Structure 1
Amino acid sequence: MRIAYPKSFLKLLLIGFALIILPLLFAFGNAALYLDNLADKSRATVTNSVLATRASRSMVEQLTMMERSARQYFVLHDGQLLENFSRSHDQFKRTLAQLSNLPIGQTQQDALHDLITKESALYDEVITTSVDTINTKQVIAEFIDLSTLAQHIVVENNQLIDQQAMALAKTTELTQKKLVSQALTLLPVALLVAIAITFLVAQPIRQMDAAIRRLGEGDYHEPISIDGPGDLHNLGERLDWLRSQLEEVDQQKQRFLRHVSHELKTPLTAIREGSELLKDEIGGSLTPQQKEIAGIMQESSLRLQKMIENLLNYTAVQYQKPQLKFETLQLVDLIKQILAEYALTLTSKSIVIRLDFSDTQMMGDHEKLHTVFDNLISNAIKYTPASGHIKISVKPRDDFAVFEIHDGGPGVIAADKARLFDPFYRGNGVYESLVSGSGLGLSIAKEYVDAHGGEITLLASEHGAHFRVRLPLRPESLKIGNVEAIST
């Protein structure tokens, strides 16, 4: 399923940023709302507690002042004391009215109503009854009852304040839990959105990286399509256009190589045959100097023929699957046959071949394995100096035939190791790398070894180049993949 992307990469980033920030903004807004409600509750609780405490203290004080004024009035019969008693009564009523307006429980409301009723009755009794006939002890006892009732109301107010404080603490704890739970819910949501946006952003970039990597590796067959914003999709279309252009250029190169190789092969055959006739003195005897020149011509024609054959083999490998004609091979005999072909060169350079052979019989394609070992041996001879030595070993090991060759040349420099088996790669110097010449020998060798299900590697060595080839001994142990094997 194709993902619907916006038209530009910038728009995708802005949408992603918005989707990531929205859950966080919601969390911050919700937290601010919770905290604002909590602050309002805290403010109301503190205000009511202060008013209730202040009114309760004022109520007790006014009741005490009323009792003191009444006692003094009963003793001194002074009208000013009665006025003080009346003022305290008015202040007492206002204080009880404030308490009644506060958010208190029904029990406290009933107690306040009882207190107001009893205090009003006592006030009327003190005001209307003559001081000579009033029952002083009874009045004082009623004041004591009022004080007890007032103290009870004060205690209940304190308990109510404590309950409101506990309720506020529970509300605070509940709010904290809600905020934590909200954060634990929204943060993963924001994280998932961030991961999704990252995937949407990274996917077209990965596709472009893979496409460019394939182009760099010379794979021009798979079309390039970038699933992404409009501008990146357009860039993918330009890359696909570049792929098609490179594919056409590559095909032209391959056609050129095939045509040139075939065109050169015919005159080269004539040159080689002519040099061999001269060397064999068919046209007449030659002087030593002429023989040397004829030998140089023959050796150069052989080298040129080998380079042309490598070009033909390379183009064949590029355009069709290698078809292997399996037959029973004596690997030691094959190596000895190749060494015999270079006997003249080995003698002229006084190169010593140190052999470590064990009888090794395997199933393989004779022609292609001849090409593999011929390339490795010719490279070793080429880069081994005069009077040097080359070590060659052939042994069976764990259902594999293992061929190793270690020359006495300068070896492979570090800069060439990574691209040693790349086609046409020649290295940084003619005598510092094993990939001089056409640069196809090792590439073709690797193609044929891979077709046999084996591997060719360059081993670490302090001096000289040390190659190892591992080939399966039997066809049933081959890992051919797409290679078509033909048993004979």
Structure 2
Amino acid sequence: MAKLQATRGSFQQLLLFAFLLITALLVGVALRSVFQYDALMTQSRDAAARALTLSGAAQSLAERSAAMERAGRQSLVLNDAVLRKRFNDAARDASATLDKLVENDLAPASADTWRQQLDLIGGLMIGNADSALQRESSMAMQFRDLDALNTQIAQQAQFLIETQNNALAQRIENARKRVMRQVIAASVLAVSLALAFGVWLARPFKRLQRAIVGLGENRLDEPIDIRGPADVRRVSQQLE
């Protein structure tokens, strides 16, 4: 009879090996999907924190600007040192908020324009009492321009948030497609391995069946030498 190459291990051991191999393949795909999910969740949390920072900073900048206007104009009218200090404190806080916006990708040119406008306003705080009312009127107009800049910065911050969200959504969609491809590929490979192992392990049993049929038909002169799993070889030797 035709021979198969000898295989170490019993039929049960080979089945267990095939099962573990297919399981390892599927577990590997599952673990990779989990790692990708964790990475996306981290990116999502970072994006949410950045969006909160941008929107909060834009709102804070507008609030600090309003505080500067109140303190600055009242300081000019009343010539009050306490109000001047409030103006300076609000200006310092607003500048720090602007730095935070730049750190989160606000265009530096917008920040520079805002600071130039603040310098113009700060210059109006200097002068004698006779020009205070005139400077206060000019300051009101300069703050209108500053408000317009605040609106532009808020719009830029919103655009950054939307761009970030769109990019994150695209990454999530790409990851979903990638995971689907991996799952499909792993499933196809697992089925292929299962079929291959099934066919490979079934061949010795078919030969064993033919040998038993041959014995039943008294073809005793034909040697029985079936190579395959250890337990199949033992049966082959017993039949021989």
Query: TM-score, length-normalised on structure 2?
Result: 0.89
**Partner of 1:301 in structure 2?**
none
Residue 206 in structure 1 maps to residue 206 in structure 2: yes
Residue 227 in structure 1 maps to residue 213 in structure 2: no
Residue 95 in structure 1 maps to residue 97 in structure 2: yes
Structure 2 CA distance for partners of 1:129 and 1:231, relative to 1, 3 Å: same
Amino acid at match of 1:70: G
Amino acid at match of 1:24: L
Amino acid at match of 2:115: I
Residue 67 in structure 1 maps to residue 66 in structure 2: no
CA RMSD of aligned residues (A): 2.0
**Partner of 2:111 in structure 1?**
112
**Partner of 1:162 in structure 2?**
162
Residue 136 in structure 1 maps to residue 136 in structure 2: yes
Q: State how far apart, in whole Å, the 2-side matches of 1:114 and 1:7 are.
A: 78
Calculate percent identity across the aligned residue pairs.
27
Q: Which has the larger radius of gyration?
A: 1
Residue 197 in structure 1 maps to residue 197 in structure 2: yes
**What is the CA-CA distance between 1:76 and the residue it aligns to?**
2.8
Q: Is the 8 A contact 2:11 2:229 kept in 1?
A: yes
Q: State how far apart, in whole Å, the 2-side matches of 1:27 and 1:181 are.
A: 10
**What is the CA-CA distance between 1:231 and the residue it aligns to?**
2.9
Which protein has the bigger strand share? 1
State the secondary structure of the residue aligned to 1:197.
helix
**Partner of 1:460 in structure 2?**
none
State the secondary structure of the residue aligned to 1:132.
helix
Q: 2:24 aligns with which of 22, 33, 40?
A: 22
1:257-309 Cα offsets, whole Å, 9 max, x none, are xxxxxxxxxxxxxxxxxxxxxxxxxxxxxxxxxxxxxxxxxxxxxxxxxxxxx
**What is the CA-CA distance between 1:4 and the residue it aligns to?**
5.1
**What is the CA-CA distance between 1:123 and the residue it aligns to?**
2.1
**What is the CA-CA distance between 1:85 and the residue it aligns to?**
1.3
Q: State how far apart, in whole Å, the 2-side matches of 1:57 and 1:130 are.
A: 34
Q: Is the 8 A contact 1:89 1:123 kept in 2?
A: no
Q: Is the 8 A contact 2:10 2:229 kept in 1?
A: yes
Q: State how far apart, in whole Å, the 1-side matches of 2:103 and 2:129 are.
A: 36
Q: State how far apart, in whole Å, the 2-side matches of 1:7 and 1:167 are.
A: 53
Q: State how far apart, in whole Å, the 2-side matches of 1:225 and 1:48 are.
A: 72
Q: Is the 8 A contact 2:10 2:230 kept in 1?
A: yes
Q: State how far apart, in whole Å, the 2-side matches of 1:193 and 1:2 are.
A: 20
Structure 2 CA distance for partners of 1:19 and 1:90, relative to 1, 3 Å: same
Q: Is the 8 A contact 2:64 2:90 kept in 1?
A: yes
1:194-234 Cα offsets, whole Å, 9 max, x none, are 11111232222333233334434544343323231123212
Structure 2 CA distance for partners of 1:22 and 1:131, relative to 1, 3 Å: farther
**Partner of 2:82 in structure 1?**
80
1:365-388 Cα offsets, whole Å, 9 max, x none, are xxxxxxxxxxxxxxxxxxxxxxxx
**What is the CA-CA distance between 1:180 and the residue it aligns to?**
0.7
Q: State how far apart, in whole Å, the 1-side matches of 2:116 and 2:184 are.
A: 57
State the secondary structure of the residue aligned to 1:227.
coil
Residue 153 in structure 1 maps to residue 150 in structure 2: no
Amino acid at match of 2:79: H
Amino acid at match of 2:185: T
1:118-169 Cα offsets, whole Å, 9 max, x none, are 213422431x333432422222111111110111010011011011111111
After the TM superposition, which residues 369-448 of structure 1 pair with which residues of structure 2 at under 5 Å, given as runs? Answer: none
After the TM superposition, which residues 19-58 of structure 1 pair with which residues of structure 2 at under 5 Å, given as runs? Answer: 19-58=21-60
Q: State how far apart, in whole Å, the 2-side matches of 1:194 and 1:170 are.
A: 36
Q: State how far apart, in whole Å, the 2-side matches of 1:61 and 1:172 are.
A: 36
Please, which runs of 5 or more residues in structure 2 have no aligned partner?
none
Q: Which has the higher contact order (CA 8 A, sep 6+)?
A: 2
Amino acid at match of 2:187: L
Q: Is the 8 A contact 1:5 1:12 kept in 2?
A: no
Q: Is the 8 A contact 1:200 1:228 kept in 2?
A: no
State the secondary structure of the residue aligned to 1:133.
helix
Structure 2 CA distance for partners of 1:162 and 1:4, relative to 1, 3 Å: farther
1:8-65 Cα offsets, whole Å, 9 max, x none, are 3343123212321232122112212221221121111111000011111000000011
Which protein has the bigger helix share? 2
After the TM superposition, which residues 198-347 of structure 1 pair with which residues of structure 2 at under 5 Å, given as runs? Answer: 198-240=198-240
State the secondary structure of the residue aligned to 2:228.
coil
State the secondary structure of the residue aligned to 1:7.
coil
Please, which runs of 5 or more residues in structure 1 have no aligned partner?
241-488
Structure 2 CA distance for partners of 1:40 and 1:213, relative to 1, 3 Å: same
**Partner of 1:379 in structure 2?**
none
Q: Is the 8 A contact 2:102 2:111 kept in 1?
A: yes
Q: State how far apart, in whole Å, the 2-side matches of 1:237 and 1:56 are.
A: 86
Amino acid at match of 2:127: T
Q: State how far apart, in whole Å, the 2-side matches of 1:56 and 1:136 are.
A: 26
State the secondary structure of the residue aligned to 2:84.
helix
**What is the CA-CA distance between 1:236 and the residue it aligns to?**
0.6
